[in-house]
């Protein structure tokens, strides 16, 4: 059987939950190198938009690009403010040229009659290897675009509880007559869309191979655990974020000619030394005063972290505690990043 050499790409489509984008970036792509592979992540184009009249008819898996309750009327014309993206495409350039039977491109995929069992297994191995690269590249992309758009929700897995959406009914025992219907609280996630500036900043960082800072990753993970009402994990991740931020900030501001032993000593110092002494040394008087106002909450955060890590004590934690700790870490990030 005659054969020919062809170049191939791998293609995957991944869910992009909570990805809300400005109209200017519909159809755009990010191209970057990941782990030695050329990766392209593409947003759907307008031809994939679900018509408004079909929004209630199609299943979730069929909706690639949609727009609902996001319109602005100008001169009698409704213009979209932003779009929800259901899926993105991830394409990887496979540098190897492969040999295939001639005419295989004229057949549907998986042409078993043209390929030996050994060749079929080889293709499955290639596909299996490629999906692992695609998944890691996609996760890298998610972290960078979350960072640049300041949105912890993008790409998060959907977690559904046991709630049905029905309210609580109070009914008379014998007749089963309803006498009261409780108020059902519906939590609506904040709709923060990715702007063209966020997209371009992400593109620049991806091309440079820059990863999101570890303190950002843990801060966003903490927000996700807060959303899921996992107070313990929220506190743990906030503490890791805070520690990584303060240690990185102090070490990066040490004189370049500082001895290695001193740098190591400072890097290994107890976190309370950073709160009480080290961070303030690199702040101007105005920012130092602002940092002083954060110290109590920062110390409370690490006290709560230690209680969890050392004794597994979660009973005293509440949503209000986590909200306070989230606020102090956000203020700390803003304070240090303003320098």
Q: Quickly list H helices, the chain.
A: 117-149, 196-208, 214-227, 231-252, 260-267, 271-273, 285-292, 295-311, 319-337
Question: How many Å is the Cα radius of gyration of the chain?
Answer: 26
Report which of 190, 85, 70, 225 is spatially closest to residue 141, judged by C-alpha positions.
Answer: 85
CA–CA dist 225, 241 (Å, integer): 14
pLDDT at residue number 120 = 86
Distance CA(72)–CA(81), nearest Å, equals 6
DSSP 3-state of 215: helix
Q: Report the alpha-carbon distance of residue 249 to residue 242 in Å, rounded.
A: 11
Tens of pLDDT, residues 106-161: 888 888 888 888 888 888 998 999 999 999 999 999 999 999 999 999 999 876 55
Question: What is the C-alpha to C-alpha distance for residues 177 and 251, in angstroms, rounded to an integer?
Answer: 68
User: Nearest CA to 328 among 300, 289, 288?
Assistant: 300
Domain map of the chain by residue range? 3-149, 213-337
The CATH class that applies to domain 213-337 reads mainly alpha
Residues 308-331: pLDDT tens digits?
Answer: 988 766 768 899 999 999 999 999
């Amino acid at each position: 059987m005659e054969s020919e050499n062809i170049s191939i790409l791998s293609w995957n489509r991944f869910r992009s939950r909570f990805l809300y984008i400005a109209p200017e970036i519909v159809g755009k792509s990010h191209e970057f190198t990941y782990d030695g592979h050329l990766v392209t992540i593409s947003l759907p184009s307008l031809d994939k938009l679900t018509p408004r009249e079909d929004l209630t008819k199609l299943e979730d898996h069929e909706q690639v690009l949609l727009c609902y309750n996001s319109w602005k009327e100008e001169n009698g014309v409704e213009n979209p403010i932003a779009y929800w993206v259901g899926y993105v495409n991830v394409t990887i350039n496979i540098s190897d040229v492969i040999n295939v039977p001639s005419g295989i491109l004229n057949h549907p995929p998986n042409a078993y009659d043209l390929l030996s069992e050994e060749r079929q297994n080889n293709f499955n191995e290639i596909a299996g290897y490629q999906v692992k690269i695609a998944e890691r590249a996609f996760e890298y992309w998610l972290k960078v675009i979350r960072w640049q758009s300041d949105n912890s929700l993008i790409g998060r897995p959907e977690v559904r509880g046991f709630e049905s959406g029905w309210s609580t009914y109070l009914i008379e025992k014998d007749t089963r007559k309803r006498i009261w219907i409780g108020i059902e609280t519906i939590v609506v996630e904040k709709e923060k869309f990715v702007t063209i500036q966020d997209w371009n900043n992400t593109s620049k960082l991806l091309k440079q191979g820059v990863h999101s800072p570890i303190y950002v990753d843990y801060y966003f993970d903490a927000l996700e655990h807060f959303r899921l009402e996992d107070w313990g994990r929220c506190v743990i991740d906030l503490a890791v974020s805070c520690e990584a931020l303060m240690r990185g900030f102090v070490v990066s501001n040490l004189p370049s000619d500082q001895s290695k032993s001193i740098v190591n000593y400072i890097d290994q110092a107890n976190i309370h030394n950073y709160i009480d002494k080290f961070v303030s040394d690199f702040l101007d008087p105005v920012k130092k005063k602002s940092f002083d106002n954060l110290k109590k909450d920062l110390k409370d955060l690490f006290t709560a972290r230690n209680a969890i890590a050392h004794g597994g004590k979660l009973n005293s934690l509440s949503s209000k505690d986590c909200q306070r700790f989230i606020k102090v870490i956000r203020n700390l990030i803003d304070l240090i990043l303003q320098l």
